[in-house]
């Protein structure tokens, strides 16, 4: 009980802190931050249930007015902005990433990478694109066009999520709650 | 880490947080029902007028909080100029700005402690399915406490990296940061258990 609670709380803080890491600019001028890598790691490291709860806790902190989203955004306004779909999708993304890592009978690094791809890209983009299309009154195809610029950055993060989870498992076997 | 609550005291700071949240929900629903530029412009003007009691520094803070909207404003403006649907573009822009400004107004005039109190009250029904409000409050407090702790840890890790390499640390410090977080979480769990558990 205490172990679940402390892991959920500290990973919520980790998502926030990864958002402070300076943004890296991709060659064609799209900023990428480590925050969504934090979302993926919540799932691949803590597992589906705890990972989703950690992300929900992070969103609660943002909603009550702490500027913890990348770029120092926060407050209730972020839930009224065009990117609200991504925020709603965050906990689902962590859950799916965790579920794949838990269930897939493959080495943990590969399972985590695939989980991050399905959860952190496929599921998350489905939510994000739906949100954009509702908030900006565009068709799904037009909304999808707007987010393609972020796809390369997120693919890099998928690979990183797999690598980081793999190294964690090797350095400290048994540390991954998703595989215990 | 500072909350987004405005240091400028306004009459709204004294209103109960629950009432402000309910009003915000109502306003947002109405904004998404309005479907032409004129009523939305009136709504936006009304929300702008609500900032007057806070004076200029308060209004400037509110304007800064609207800044993340500009890339979307640019995309929408170009899109609707291209399709010659100026009215549709204006509707979307006015609605987005009004909804964001209204939500920011509530955030700017509600203290963090009031928000947490509301959250505990809203979470009370979840006690039956295994989430007592006390446990939620403990998780929130722990997460808030550990944001500066982990932030310092990350800064130390990147300093150590820079001492060893001329290149930027980048993603390579994510693994040690995650490992440190996992270790800290185990220590915190032991400390909680030693003090009688998480309740």
pLDDT, one tens digit per residue, over B7-45 is 888 999 999 999 999 999 999 999 988 989 999 999 999
Q: What pLDDT is attached to residue B1? A: 53
Instruction: Pick the closest to residue B98 from B9, B188, B38, B187 (CA basis).
Output: B38
Domain finish residue from B81, B110, B139: B110
Instruction: State pTM to two decimals.
Output: 0.90
pLDDT digits (tens, 9 = 90+) for B52-69: 998 999 999 999 989 888
**Domain total of chain B:** 2
Note whether B105 and B147 are same-domain residues: no
Q: Which of residues 105-124 of B touch A (CB under 8 A)?
A: 106-108, 110, 112, 115-116, 119
Q: Tell whether B63 lies on the interface with A, counting CB pairs under 8 A.
A: no
Q: What is the pLDDT of residue A25?
A: 60
Domain boundary among B110, B138, B155: B110
Per-residue pLDDT at B139 exceeds 70: yes
pLDDT at A95: 97
CA distances from A171 to A18, B40, B175, B188 (A): 21, 57, 10, 21
Question: What pLDDT is recorded for position B196?
Answer: 84
Establish if B178 touches chain A: CB-CB under 8 angstroms.
yes
3-state SS string for chain A: CHHHHHHHHHHHHHHHHHHHCCCEECCCCCEECCHHHHHHHHHHHHCHHHHHHHHHHHHHHHHCCCCCECCCECCHHHHHCCCHHHHHHHHHHHHHHHHHHHHCCCCHHHHHHHHHHHHHHHHHHHHHHHHHHHHCCCCHHHHHHHHHHHHHHHHHHHHHHHHHHHHHHHHCCCCCHHHC
Determine, yes or no, domain membership for B1.
no
Cβ of A6 within 8 Å of Cβ of B171? The answer is: no
Q: Which residues of B touch A137 (CB under 8 A)?
A: 88, 91-92
Tell me the residue range of the domain where B180 lies.
Answer: 130-194
**Domain for residue B38, yes or no?**
yes
Q: Please report residues of A whose CB lies closer than 8 A to that of B139.
A: 5, 8-9, 12, 57
pLDDT, residue B164, reads 92
Give me the CATH number covering residue A68: 1.10.1760.20
Phi/psi for A31 (5° steps) reads -75, 140
Buried b (16+ CB within 10 A) or exposed e, B15-52: eebeebbeebeebbeebeebeebeebeebbeebbebbe
Question: Looking at the structure, do residues B82 and B169 belong to the same domain, yes or no?
Answer: no
The three-state secondary structure class of B150 is: helix
Q: Inter-chain contact A13–B146, Cβ cutoff 8 Å?
A: yes
Both B94 and B137 in one domain: the answer is no
- Point out the domain boundary residue: B79, B110, B141: B110
Domain total of chain A: 1
Residues of B in contact with A37 (CB under 8 A): 171, 174
Counting every residue written for chain A, the total comes to 180
Angle at B24 between CA B66 and CA A131, to 5 degrees: 60
List the domain range (segments joined by +) for residue A59: 2-176
Place A8 in a pLDDT band, splitting at 50, 70 and 90: very high
Residue with tokens 């446990």: B135
Using CA atoms, how far apart are residues A99 and A51, in angstroms rounded to an integer? 10
* Structure ipTM: 0.90
pLDDT given for residue B180 in this prediction: 93
């Amino acid at each position: 009980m205490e172990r679940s609670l402390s892991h959920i709380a500290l990973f919520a803080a980790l998502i926030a802190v990864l958002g402070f890491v300076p943004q890296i600019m991709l060659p064609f001028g799209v900023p990428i931050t480590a925050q969504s890598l934090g979302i993926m790691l919540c799932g691949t490291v803590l597992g589906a249930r705890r990972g989703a709860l950690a992300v929900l806790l992070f969103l609660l902190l943002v909603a009550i007015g702490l500027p913890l989203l990348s770029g120092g955004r926060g407050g209730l306004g972020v839930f009224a902005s065009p990117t609200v779909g991504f925020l709603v999708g965050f906990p689902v993304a962590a859950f799916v990433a965790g579920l794949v890592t838990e269930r897939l009978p493959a080495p943990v690094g590969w399972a985590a990478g695939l989980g991050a791809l399905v959860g952190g890209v496929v599921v998350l983009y489905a939510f994000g694109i739906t949100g954009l299309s509702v908030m900006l009154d565009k068709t799904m195809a037009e909304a999808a066009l707007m987010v393609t610029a972020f796809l390369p950055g997120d693919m890099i993060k998928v690979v990183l999520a797999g690598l980081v989870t793999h190294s964690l498992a090797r350095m400290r076997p048994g540390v991954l709650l998703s595989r215990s | 880490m500072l909350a987004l609550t405005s240091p400028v005291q306004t009459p709204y700071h004294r209103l109960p947080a629950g009432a402000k949240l309910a009003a915000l929900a109502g306003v947002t629903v109405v904004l998404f029902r309005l479907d032409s530029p004129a009523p939305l412009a009136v709504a936006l003007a009304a929300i702008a007028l609500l900032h007057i009691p806070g004076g200029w520094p308060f209004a400037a803070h509110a304007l800064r909080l609207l800044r993340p909207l500009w890339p979307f404003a640019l995309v929408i403006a170009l899109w609707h100029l291209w399709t010659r649907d100026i009215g549709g573009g204006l509707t979307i822009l006015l609605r987005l700005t009004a909804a964001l400004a209204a939500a920011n107004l509530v955030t700017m005039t509600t203290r963090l402690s009031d928000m947490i109190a509301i959250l505990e009250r809203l979470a009370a029904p979840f006690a039956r399915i295994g989430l007592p409000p006390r446990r939620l409050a403990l998780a929130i407090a722990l997460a808030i406490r550990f944001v500066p702790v982990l932030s310092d840890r990350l800064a130390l890790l990147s300093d150590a990296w820079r001492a060893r390499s001329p290149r930027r640390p980048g993603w390579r410090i994510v693994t040690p940061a995650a490992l440190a977080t996992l270790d800290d979480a185990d220590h915190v769990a032991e400390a909680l258990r030693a003090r009688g558990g998480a309740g």
